[in-house]
Structure 1
Amino acid sequence: MGTEFLKIIDVSKAHNVVKNLFERIYSPISVEKISLNEALFRVLSHDIHAHMDLPPFNRAIMDGYAVKSQDTFGATEENPAMLKLVEVVRAGSTPQKEIKSGFCSEITTGAPIPPGADGVVMVEFSQKNEENIELFTGSYPGQHIAARGSDIKKGELVLKAGTILSPDKIGVLAALGYSTVEVRSKLKVAVISTGNELVLPEEDLEYGKIYDVNSSTIYSALESYGVHPLLKGIIPDEYAAVKNAIKHSLEDADLIITSGGTSAGAGDVLREVMDDMGEVMVHGISIKPGKPTIIGEVNNKMVIGLPGNPTAALIVLDVLIAPYLKNFSGCAAHYKPSDKIKLPMASRFHSAQGRMEYLLVKIVGGQVNPILKNSGAITGLSEADGYIKIPKTTEMILEGDLVEVYFFDDIIH
């Protein structure tokens, strides 16, 4: 005989349970130091202040001639300024000569400005005659020069804690001389599929068996949330096997997500295992699909039991767990807001009154078409553009009624 559900609770109360568990168990957030080359899309753990000026010296931003600008005032093609060349300064070298009145240095882009010079005349407006340079246009102080500290000044706040390290942010750190950076550690999340009927995709499919869908879909979703998933394989619906899988997962995972075995039937043992190993806070949520979801704690780590049906598992994961994983990893800012638009229903729909329902829908001709497949049909997700939320007090949506559509493209990248 199966275990009965606990008191069925609203989605909002389930959110409060998950929120409180995250705040108690996973705070403060741990930090690790990694190579800058491994930092793409990781989350900065602390503020970065510049320890140097950028650029660190006055540098030319054009090829040309470094001059005292007053020597070039009024220069034209008809009346060029005539200056004597003293040296060539290339990027990466150090000027050896000071620029005095009547003299100039040839300079390349990125090279340090020689002392005494305050402007650069572009090479396009010049002509070299042996050691004499004719300049056909005037310069002014600071022209074509990136002044020391004009980009970033020493001590300036460059990147805030919580910043996602995109390529441009990594470039800033490289410019400041960083080879490593401290980032938030990724939460390690074990992924366990339970079910006597499940086999791996590479195995032969015998009669009565089905391929394991949830491991791959949950793993992929978790990666998009900025956490580090750990595949733990398929476990039969047996007390000892489930208990052993959770016990071993606790050794290297910070959080455990299972799918299947969460209902109150004779073959659903997760609730019993969690009661014996720790505490079950939630078993049963007023949501469709996803009612038999389990939320609990074992050895100061969260254990989430998702339904076995693929659509139910992914919707519960996205609605109930994903917001906290994204917030923990810091990647919430990497997601677009969940845009929603109001569109008319293409047909009448009877809802599951008494439970919040998340109904998969497809947009055709500007109208919302319900996808009427059970939560075990993975093709429902592949056909869906998104879903609509139907309050538990709503019994029917009529043809033409406006509903808010949440698009999957705005939820998972």
Structure 2
Amino acid sequence: MSCCDTNGLMPLSEALQKMQDSLSNVCETITLPLSEALGFTLSENIVSVLNVPPFNNSAMDGYALHANDIKEGSENNPIQLTLVGKSFAGAPFTGEVKSGCCIRIMTGAVVPDSVDCVVMQEKCIAEGDSITFTQSAMVNNNIRFSGEDLTVGQAVLQQGHKLTPRDIPLLASLGIATVAVYRKLKVAVLSSGDELKSLGEPLAQGDIYDSNRYSIIALLSRLNVEVIDFGIIKDDYTLIRDAMIQADQQANVVITSGGVSVGEADFIKDVLNEIGEIGFWKLAIKPGKPFAFGKLQNSIFFGLPGNPVSAIVTLYQLAVPAMAKMCGEKIKPAVRFNAICRDALSKAPGRTDFQRGTYSVNEQGQLIVNTTGSQGSGVFSSMSQSNCFIVLEQDRGNVSVGEKVVVEPYSPLMD
């Protein structure tokens, strides 16, 4: 489908593909201590340099022994073994455990090669050096073997993986003290509009507070990027042009909010035409039709609509995946599910619609979703009260109660 198939509006899928095809990783590689690497993207593959665990160790507190010694053990036939030593974490037993003997062992301690199982302490009766067993045991019982988790040479994490709190202890277990990652993307953010006021300033007739910049910067803070806040720029061609030139000189990405529509005071598109180039403008998406993508001399440009919901929807659905590629991160598709819609939804064919909803599981175990009410692009409470997008396909019309719809739960960026 071409951008002309919907009154000149480019379909969302085409816009996403066009951005991905025109972007590349722009971030240099840096080396960081593991303790500072959370949220950064790996610039090289991580391969295990040792076995994890590095030695056979006990999975619990108990006694290490030969399983064959107690194979006939039962309540009616208790078997006694002689305690000959102990193995604690960091203080292994160094002797040999012969048949008829056992050692005390603690969780994580080395299991000697001369034994083949561990019996948990709750199943034993200890009386001095005499340990009584009333149950049999299987060979390899309660032993964690060397390399059971990772082996030398095994691929651990791939280039392009964004480090999470789950990855840090994994790398620490390998003794990795530093990692090669891509540095933070620099993102300049500015809002345009004569009606916008900063928080704390009094509102005159027709004024509103600049909420978009706060929502944009809040979401960006979870991307681990470096934000450069250019504040509010008045609806003046020269002021906007100068601000965008400065932003282009300082950042890899320039994000504006407002000024990309077709009003007399909407200058962003004209400035972009003068000092850069427009990749596309106006998409078949709701909310967020007046979204602009382009290039400046040194940076990539994203022009978000001025309406608050439109701004955050286009930032999340379009700009975030693009910036992820610029950071060297491998793009992961959004998680989406089918759900039963509990409300009637209004929808005109022609644009992909991201309505705001709340999904849950009913008593029958079915995934259901409800609308958050008014879906106007200026009704930001519809975002605050929601936990997902209800994604309605471009050609779809109204949705009746009970119909299946696609639900996209918010990622940690939004949740």
**TM-score, length-scaled by structure 2:** 0.77
Cα deviation 1:69-125 (Å, max 9, x = unaligned) = 333342345554444333222111132322233433222121112342222233334
Q: Which amino acid aligns with 1:172?
A: L
SS where residue 52 of structure 1 aligns? coil
**Does the aligned pair in 2 maintain the 1:19–1:324 contact within 8 Å?**
no
Question: Which has the higher mean CA deviation after the structures are superposed, 66-75 or 400-409?
Answer: 400-409
Instruction: Report the Cα offset of residue 21 of structure 1.
Output: 4.8
Match of 1:231 among 229, 232, 235: 229
Question: Which has the higher mean CA deviation after the structures are superposed, 110-119 or 377-386?
Answer: 377-386
Instruction: Report the Cα offset of residue 34 of structure 1.
Output: 3.5
The reply on whether 1:157 has 2:155 as its aligned counterpart is: yes
Partner of 2:267: 269
RMSD, matched Cα? 4.0
Partner of 2:9: 10
Instruction: Report the Cα offset of residue 179 of structure 1.
Output: 3.3
Match of 1:74 among 69, 72, 75: 72
Structure 2: gaps (5+ residues): 1-6, 359-367
Aligned equivalents of 2:146 and 2:111: distance in 1? 10
Partner of 2:53: 55
Match of 1:209 among 179, 182, 207: 207
Match of 2:351 among 340, 348, 356: 356
After superposition, the Cα gap between the structure-2 partners of 1:115 and 1:273, relative to the gap in structure 1 and judged at 3 Å, is same
Cα deviation 1:13-43 (Å, max 9, x = unaligned) = x765664454444237654444434444554
Matches within 5 A, 1:14-33: 16=14, 19-27=17-25, 30-33=28-31
Instruction: Report the Cα offset of residue 182 of structure 1.
Output: 3.6
Q: Percent identity?
A: 30
Aligned equivalents of 2:142 and 2:357: distance in 1? 56
Aligned equivalents of 2:399 and 2:53: distance in 1? 64
Cα deviation 1:170-199 (Å, max 9, x = unaligned) = 332222222333445443322110112211
**Does the aligned pair in 2 maintain the 1:31–1:183 contact within 8 Å?**
yes
Structure 1: gaps (5+ residues): 1-7
Partner of 1:282: 280
Aligned equivalents of 1:359 and 1:181: distance in 2? 38
The reply on whether 1:336 has 2:331 as its aligned counterpart is: no
Match of 1:114 among 109, 112, 115: 112
Q: Which amino acid aligns with 2:185?
A: L
Question: Which has the higher mean CA deviation after the structures are superposed, 194-203 or 271-280?
Answer: 271-280
Aligned equivalents of 2:21 and 2:54: distance in 1? 43
**Does the aligned pair in 2 maintain the 1:335–1:410 contact within 8 Å?**
no
Count of matched residue pairs: 398
The reply on whether 1:171 has 2:175 as its aligned counterpart is: no
SS where residue 248 of structure 2 aligns? helix
Partner of 1:85: 83
**Does the aligned pair in 2 maintain the 1:44–1:160 contact within 8 Å?**
yes
SS where residue 280 of structure 1 aligns? strand
Partner of 2:98: 100
Cα deviation 1:123-153 (Å, max 9, x = unaligned) = 3343444434444444443222222222322
Aligned equivalents of 1:201 and 1:391: distance in 2? 37
SS where residue 189 of structure 1 aligns? strand
SS where residue 243 of structure 2 aligns? helix
Instruction: Report the Cα offset of residue 283 of structure 1.
Output: 4.1
**Does the aligned pair in 1 maintain the 2:192–2:259 contact within 8 Å?**
yes
Partner of 1:141: 139
Aligned equivalents of 1:94 and 1:190: distance in 2? 57
Partner of 1:5: none
Partner of 2:187: 189
